[in-house]
Amino acid sequence: MSDVTTAAHIQPDRNLALDLVRVTEAAAIAAGQWVGRGDKNAADGAAVDAMRSFLSTVRFDGTVVIGEGEKDEAPMLFNGEKVGEGSGPACDVAVDPVDGTRLTALGMNNALAVLAVTERGAMFDPSAVFYMEKLVTGPEAADLVDLRLPVAQNLHLIAKAKGVKTSQLTVAVLDRPRHQGLIEEIRAAGARTKFILDGDVAAAIAACRPGTGVDAMMGTGGTPEGIVAACAIKTLGGVIQGRLAPQDDKERATAADAGHDPSRILGTGDLVRSDNCYFAATGITDGDLLRGVRYAKSTITTESLVMRSRSGTIRTVDGEHHLEKWDQYDPK
């Protein structure tokens, strides 16, 4: 077998992108039926079932390395689970069937169904350290910012790179009590804040895309979400920097046993070591990035985003699904 033929069998190719969108569409449609109904577990469960069902049809040999089971006690899509139909390239898979379960339950903006895929062995293994401190910004300041610098200095560097005043910057921050000091620093530097209830994958992508009104994202959030976002940022050309934030002695011991140094700054290339990665997301509720699922008498409409880092391609995909045919595939 020639090197070219071998590469074609072991590396995911561009045809994978549309298959992944079908998976996130299915998860979004399933979760969308629970929007505003106050039951985040039901929404997440429906999305997990749909995502796993549709993943089984994708032509690849996938292993879930960033999954649902261990963190959220979900019945499926746990770390180490095999997904895909078993042939084709060997891939690492990161899943977040609902990024923003609470947003979905409350009918609030920016809930997404998210999926990321890379070549086998390319995704960072956080070893059950569920949180990390993050700094995300777009390509203009990607080579300038440093998580070890004071907040005000990073904001000054971002503003200078973008050619604006610091007072014109908007920083997305998860609305959590732990961020009170960070918020005070951002405001003292003169920048504006945008609170997000949940869903920091959407906020991280917004920080790297023009026209979203978000210039940076800062604060401590989920490590899995940071790795998923890094797959998108590989294409967008921005930067995500992270520093593991163990929450208790057990997590600190787990990190030490895995050889992790919590003081180390992890860059985009540390979180995802491949230049051939894919990111797909479909809106569940309306948001800064995507329109949410719409239900009509006989159709369901979706809006998705799919990226491939190797080609630098970013596509927005509008889907129209016939309700009668969708019901045939509904895992319920």
> Which residues are documented as binding site?
44, 68, 96, 99-101, 131, 176-178, 198-200, 222, 225
**Per DSSP, what are the bridge partners of residue 133?**
220, 243
Six-digit token pair at 157? Answer: 């560097």
Q: Are strands 294-295 and 299-308 parallel, antiparallel or unpaired?
A: antiparallel
With a CB cutoff of 8 Å and minimum separation 6, the contacts of 26 are 50, 51, 53, 54, 329
- List of E strands, the chain: 61-66, 82-83, 90-99, 112-119, 131-137, 170-174, 192-196, 216-222, 239-244, 278-283, 294-295, 299-308, 313-322
Query: Which residues are known binding-site members for Mn(2+)?
Result: 44, 68, 96, 99, 225
Query: Which residues are known binding-site members for substrate?
Result: 99-101, 131, 176-178, 198-200, 222
Asked if residue 201 lies in contact with residue 214, where contact means CB atoms within 8 angstroms, the answer is no
The one-letter amino acid at 287: G
Asked if residue 198 lies in contact with residue 221, where contact means CB atoms within 8 angstroms, the answer is no
